[in-house]
Copies of this chain bind each other. A is one copy, B any other.
Amino acid sequence: MRVSRLFLPTQREVPAEAEIPSHQLMLRAGLMRKIASGIYSFLPMGYRTFRRIEQIVREEMDRAGAQELIMPALLPAETYMESGRWQVFGPEMFRLRDRGGREFCLGPTHEEPFTETVRNEVRTYRALPMTLYQIQHKYRDEKRPRFGVMRCREFVMKDAYSFDRDAAGLDVSYRAMEKAYRRIFDRCGLDYIVVDADSGAMGGSGSQEFMVKSDVGEAVIAYCDACGYAANDEKAEAVPAPKPGTAGQPVGKVHTPSVRTIEELMAFFGSSPARFAKTLLYLADGVPVAAMVRGDRELNETKLANLLRCSELEMAGPDEVLRVTGAPVGFAGPIRLAVPVRLVADREVAASVDLVVGANEADFHLEHVDPRRDFPPFEEADLRTVADGDACPSCGGPLSLCRGIEVGHIFKLGTKYSDALSCVFLDEEGKENPMVMGCYGIGINRTMAAVIEQHHDDHGIRWPAAVAPYAALVVPVMVTDPVQRQVAEALYERLRDAGLDVLLDDRDERPGVKFKDADLVGIPLRLTVGRKAADGLVEYKERTWDKPVEMSVDEAAAKTLERMGPYR
């Protein structure tokens, strides 16, 4: 392809809302454009890489024995009502009615139609196991779309669903997908880790996320270098580390006028935050619940929601706090609540002594509180988010935290959807059993952005060969020079005829502009045809190199074909 004909609108400036490198570079390098908040088009250069990633995903899914099909994106409400997710998805689901008034959604994820299809078509154990997948648009009306295609509202997902006879079968299908995912992300040139994850609203018995390590990732990962343990912070078990204290002191009521926050308490008591226990009031599906973590800890709402098995969890407002505790915000505590509610405390709080808690009375706190002596009946659970340096739940060694971009997620769903939608099979004895399911997703758009996050420098993108939009770029320095032009054209045609996707920058632009664009767009190999073309010499430069190497045209062509083998 000739660059003069290519629709490649590069930009020098990007809007301020593009905060992270991949978002900035995808705009600057002319890969995509914003059509609406969280909704993007992919321009020709961007769509080439997009399709390369799709193709890698497809090849590895096929290799793993999964079968491709495609479901509609516009889906009738009924099956989602049957599964209960019509409600669960809430405002994140795009909903509409057809001209007849029938309700539809734009599929946010496709468990329902896959399960329904298999229910309607598969009768016996002989058809199982079976893994089906599609590469299809998904729609989620995100509250805060951001970071370009990293968190957007229309995106493409590869979603696969496995159907097995039993849990042992699911294990096999799940492992096959895990292996395929590793191959996919390896081929895309990503440095990633596989972490234990929370199964959340999807239900099921286990799940793992494929996380690309990146400072701009929205997820936090806890990992242990000693034993290899890794989990996202919604799942990572926090080992209690109670601070020492003197048990058995009498509880004292302390006048703490206007002392509400942990910072104010620290100043007032002259103590470390570990001496305080926060009491946070939530509404779990509308029912008030009090949850406690230590003053220096963060309550993990996913852990709390899972414990409570609720679908909606929100902080209670000031009125509700006043009603339940009898006091304004800032003085909630576990003891003598105005309205008795379910009380859950992090294991660390439960194992501590000599704590300061709110007194449920304006301007008062209680000190020397020993939970197991003084609290009303309460539940203990892992409620806090792990912190850097926490003990690894697997080996006790120190955990490290890093940020990650979730590019893939694999779930053991179990029978959640097959029970809800009656997706059953007859076993060898003619007995009906629910199929045991797994589901497996890869966000194509986000994978593309993650590749850029890990492969760029100050000048632009550095595409790994396997997902590059073009393999090589031939740049005649002066297109008006007949020799340069002719050598460049011949080299371009030679590489193209050998089966490579090659670009020829035939624009009559200053060399600086062409080189700048080349670095920005990030084609893996650049072949520069300059003054020495008359001597049969050109410059060969890989995008990751600082400097080019001079060689003959033949050498350059051979080296290009050898280097870009994995591209084809």
Interface of A toward B, CB cutoff 8 Å: 4-7, 9, 33, 35-36, 39-44, 46-48, 50, 65, 67-76, 91-92, 94-96, 98-99, 102, 104, 106, 113, 117, 120-122, 126-127, 130, 132, 137, 139, 141, 143, 153-154
Contacts and interface: CB of A to CB of B under 8 A. Distances in A.
B99 A70 contact: no
Rank and list the top 4 A-B pairs by shortest CB-CB distance, nearest first.
A96-B96, A9-B121, A44-B67, A36-B76
Contacts of A69: 7, 41-44, 46-47
Given A41-B72, A72-B154, 7 more contacts: A7-B121, A33-B120, A35-B71, A39-B76, A41-B117, A47-B70, A98-B141
Contacts of A137: 73, 137
B74 A94 contact: yes
Contacts of A42: 69-70
Contacts of A74: 36, 39, 94, 106, 139, 153-154
A35 B154 contact: no
A41 B70 contact: yes
State the majority secondary structure of interface residues on A. mixed
Nearest to A95: B96
A35 B95 contact: no
A71 B41 contact: yes
Contacts of A9: 121-122
Contacts of A91: 99
A41 B130 contact: no
Contacts of A72: 35-36, 39-41, 154
- The count of identical subunits is 2
Residue in A4, A42, A46, A132 whose Cβ sees the most chain B Cβ within 10 Å: A42
A259 to B, nearest CB: 39
Contacts of A120: 33
Contacts of A6: 67
A43 B71 CA distance: 8
19 contacts: A5-B65, A7-B121, A9-B122, A35-B72, A35-B75, A39-B72, A39-B75, A41-B70, A41-B72, A43-B117, A47-B68, A47-B70, A50-B70, A72-B154, A73-B73, A73-B137, A74-B153, A94-B96, A99-B141
A332 to B, nearest CB: 32
B141 A41 contact: no
A153 B76 CA distance: 12
Residue in A42, A67, A71 with the greatest tally of chain B CB atoms within 10 Å? A67
Nearest to A508: B126
A121 B47 CA distance: 17
A531 to B, nearest CB: 26
Nearest to A50: B70
A132 B35 contact: no
A73 B74 CA distance: 11
Contacts of A104: 36
Nearest to A62: B1
Given A42-B70, A69-B47, A98-B141, A117 B76 contact: no
Chain B CB within 10 Å, residue with most, of A72, A106, A120: A72
Nearest to A47: B69
A524 to B, nearest CB: 21
